[in-house]
Amino acid sequence: MKKEQEEKRLEALAEYNIMDTFAESEFDDIVTLASAICGMPISLISLVDSERQWFKAKVGLGAEQTPREQAFCAHAINKPDEVMVVENPTEDERFKDNPLVLGDPNIRFYAGAPLLTPEGHALGTLCVIDDKPRELSPEQLEGLRILSKRVMEHLENRKVLLSQKKEIKESAKLLKYLTDNTPGALFQFELAPDETSVFSFISKGIENLHPELTPKKLKENSWAGFRIIHPDDLERVQAAIEVSKNELTQLELEYRIVLPDGKLRWNSATARPEKRSNGTVVWYGIFQDITESKEYQKTLEGISYSISHIIRRPVANLIGLSEMLEKEKLTKEKAREYAGYFKNVTEELDGFINVLSETYNEKRLKFRS
Amino acid sequence: MSNANSDPSRPVHLVWLVEDDPIYRMMERKLVQTAYPQSHIQEFENGQQPLKKLEEPGAHEERPDLILLDLNMSVVSGWDFLEKIHPFTHSKQPDILVVTSSIDAFDREKALSYPTVKGFLSKPIKAEDIII
C-alpha cells in the first residue's frame, strides 16, 4: 500500500474514535453471529493502526491486540474489495513463520472481510479463525461479507452520534457562556392559569442588576423579582404583563427598581410570550439596566426644551426688531436705540448658548466615563 | 386677527401688555400703537401686577378691552394669570391674546381652551395679528 494512501487510511480510522474504547453490545453480537454462521471458534472485529491490530469485539480469543506484523488482517486490508481466505497458513509464505500459526491460537484457517468506509478505506476486518483446516461455503462467505457491512454501519452511526454529542456539548458551553456574560439577564418566566408564577430560567446577570437577587433566589420565589420594583411602577408593570398575557403581544416595559441603599435604577424588560396547551403563558426575554440611556434621553429632552422655549425667545425678539427696523424712519437717535436693543438681545442669546453648551458638556463627560 | 367670538364693532380703548421681556414689551407697544392708534396702553412686567390692579378700588371702571399675555414669566406665569383672572371677569370680558415664544402644540391647545383667550400667537408677531 502506498504511504500516502496509508496515511489517509489512518486519518480515517482516527475519525471514528474507536481504538481502545469499551466493548459495545452491537459489535459483540456481530462476532457471535459470525462465529455461529461460519461454525468457527474465533471471530474478531480487528482494527489496524500503524503499530498494531486492536480488537473492538472478539469471541474465542484472550488477546486484546497483537503487533501489526503478526496480523492476518493487515494483509486483508491491502485488498479492500475482497474477502481474504487463507486455507493453509503453514504453507503460505506470508504466514508460515507467524507466531499465531506456530503457537496459540494455532491458526489453520482464516477468512477476513474488510471494513470499508464510504471513501473506500479499509479500517480492519471482520474475521473468523479456526485451529483446524476448514473451508467456507459461498453462503457463509456472503454471510461474513454482510456482517462486515453491518459493522461498518454501526461504526458510521457511532461516528455521527459522537460528532453530534460533541456539537451539543460545544453549543451548550457557548450558550452558557453567552447567557452568563450577556449584559443584563436572560429569563424564562411562566404564569399559570391559577396565577402561580415561576422563573424557570434566569441567567447570572441578574446579580449585576440587583445585588440581592440571585438566579437561585428568583427560581425559588418569583415574587422576589417584583419586590424590587418601585411601588409607583408596580401596578403599571403588572397591568402590562396582563395585556401581554391576554393578547400574546411582546412585553416591553421600563420601570424603576430600588437598590438596597435606596438608590433608583431604570430597568427594562423585553420578552416574547408563548401560550402552552395547558394555558400557561411563557415569556422568553431579557432584563436590562437602562439608567444611562434614560438619563441621556432626559438630557436631550432638556436641550430640546431649552432650544424651543428659551433660545427661541431672543431669536423671536431679533426677528421682531428687524421687522420694526424696516418700517421705522431712521434718525441717528433711533439707530442708536435699536443698536442698544440688538446688543441686549444678542448678549442674552449668547448667555443662553453658553449655559446650554456647559450643561451638555457636563452630561457628555458623565456619559463617557 | 379676526375672531368669530368677538364683536367686530367693539372699540379697543385700553390695552394691557403682560410681558417680562422689556424689549419685547417695547415692540408690542409699537405694534399696538400701529393697530389701535387711539388706544391707551398699560404695561406689566409679570402676571402678578395686573391681578393686583384688578383688586384695587375702582378697578371696575378701568377694565382692559384687550390683553397681550406672555406665558413664561417668572413671578406669576401666564398660565397662573389665566386661572386667577377668572373670578374678576364677571361682566366685562377682556379679549386675551396669548403671545409666546412657545411653538408647542400642547401649549396652544391648552391656552385656547380658556374662553377668554381669543388667539395663540407665536413670537414674533405683526400689527395685523393683534387686530381682534
> pLDDT value at position A70?
92
When pLDDT is cut at 50, 70 and 90, the band that residue B10 belongs to is: low
Q: How far is A327 from chain B (nearest CA, A)?
A: 11
A122-130 average pLDDT score: 97
Confidence of residue B88 (pLDDT cuts 50, 70, 90): low
Residues A139-165 have pLDDT tens digits of 999 999 999 999 999 999 999 999 999
Sign of CA dihedral A53, A11, A45, A142: negative
Superfamily of domain B16-56+63-91+109-130: Response regulator (3.40.50.2300)
Instruction: Specify the pLDDT at position B57.
Output: 77
Written out in words, the top-level CATH class of the domain with range A3-165 is alpha beta
| pLDDT for position A306 | 78
Quick check: bond before A105 cis, omega within 30?
yes
Helical (H) or strand (E) element with B110: helix B105-112
Residues on chain B bordering chain A, Cβ-to-Cβ distance under 8 angstroms: 21, 23-24, 26-27, 30, 72, 101-104, 122-126
Q: Which residues of chain A have a CB within 8 Å of the CB of B27?
A: 317, 320-321, 324
Where exactly are the structural domains of chain B? 16-56+63-91+109-130
Closest alpha carbon within chain B to A308: B102
Which of B17, B29, B98, B101 to substitute to test the interface with A, most A CBs within 10 Å? B101
ipTM of this complex: 0.72
Residue contact B24–A320, C-beta within 8 A: yes
Q: What does the H/E/C string look like for chain A?
A: CCHHHHHHHHHHHHHCCCCCCCCCHHHHHHHHHHHHHHCCCEEEEEEECCCEEEEEEEECCCCCEEEHHHCHHHHHCCCCCCCEEECCHHHCCCCCCCHHHHCCCCCCEEEEEEEECCCCCEEEEEEEEECCCCCCCHHHHHHHHHHHHHHHHHHHHHHHHHHHHHHHHHHHHHHHHHHHHCCCEEEEEEECCCCCEEEEEECCCHHHHCCCCCHHHHHHCCHHHHHCECHHHHHHHHHHHHHHHHHCCCEEEEEEEECCCCCEEEEEEEEEEEECCCCCEEEEEEEEECHHHHHHHHHHHHHHHHHHHHHHHHHHHHHHHHHHHHHCCCCHHHHHHHHHHHHHHHHHHHHHHHHHHHHHHHHHHHHHC
Q: Convert the pLDDT of each residue in B22-64 to its tens digit.
A: 888 999 998 999 899 999 999 999 999 998 888 887 776 778 8
User: Is A182-289 a domain of CATH 3.30.450.20?
Assistant: yes
pLDDT at A309: 73
Residue contact B27–A317, C-beta within 8 A: yes
Amino acid at A93: E
B104 contacts on A by Cβ (under 8 Å): 308-309
Tens-place pLDDT, residues A30-64: 999 999 999 999 999 999 999 999 999 999 999 99
Among partner residues B21, B27, B101, which is closest to A312 by beta-carbon distance? B101
Neighboring chain A residues of B126 at a CB cutoff of 8 Å: 323
Answer yes or no: is pLDDT of A98 > 80.
Answer: yes
For residue A123, pLDDT over 90 is answered with yes
Annotated domain spans of chain A: 3-165, 182-289, 294-368
Q: In the prediction, which pLDDT does B90 show?
A: 58
Q: Per-residue pLDDT tens for A272-308?
A: 999 999 999 999 999 999 998 998 888 888 888 877 7
